[in-house]
């Protein structure tokens, strides 16, 4: 088998589906009570600082909601959090790769 075709579990899969990104955006709007429509959240826009302007408390609320809905544990001390929470798309991709529900 060609090494290029072997699935590597630590490699990211294809971009998450637009449907899942929309579902996750709706969850964020609901849980964080954002004053923006889920459809207006751009998949590549930053979630924190200049993007949606979320903060560390929002990250904790997102982690709890993601754990409950998708069975994915997001830990506050994970070195990858900057990458995971960079955008809606990166968060959705991480959840899709690790979800149990």
CATH number reported for the structural domain that contains residue 88 in this entry? 1.10.1200.10
Within a domain: residue 83? Answer: yes
Query: 56-96, pLDDT tens digit by residue?
Result: 999 999 999 999 999 999 998 899 999 999 999 999 999 99
Of all residues in the chain, what percent carry a pLDDT higher than 70? 85
Within a domain: residue 1? Answer: no
Mean pLDDT of all residues in 38-47: 95
Q: How many structural domains compose the chain? A: 1
Residue 7 has pLDDT above 80, yes or no: no
Within a domain: residue 77? Answer: yes
pTM of the model: 0.82
Within a domain: residue 6? Answer: no
Within a domain: residue 11? Answer: no
CA-closest candidate to residue 28, choices 59, 72, 74: 59
Q: What is the mean pLDDT of the chain?
A: 87
Question: Which residues share a beta bridge with 80?
Answer: none
Per-residue HEC secondary structure of 42-69 comes to CCCCECECCCCCECHHHHHHHHHHHHHH
Domain that holds residue 91: 16-34+41-98
């Amino acid at each position: 088998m060609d090494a290029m075709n072997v699935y590597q579990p630590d490699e990211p899969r294809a971009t998450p589906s637009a449907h899942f990104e929309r579902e996750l955006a709706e969850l964020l709007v609901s849980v964080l009570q954002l004053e923006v429509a889920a459809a207006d959240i751009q998949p590549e826009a930053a979630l924190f600082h200049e993007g949606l302007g979320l903060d560390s408390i929002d990250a904790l609320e997102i982690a709890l909601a993601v754990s409950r809905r998708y069975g994915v544990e997001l830990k506050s001390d994970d070195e990858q959090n900057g990458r995971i929470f960079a955008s809606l798309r990166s968060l959705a991709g991480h959840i899709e790769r690790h979800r149990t529900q």
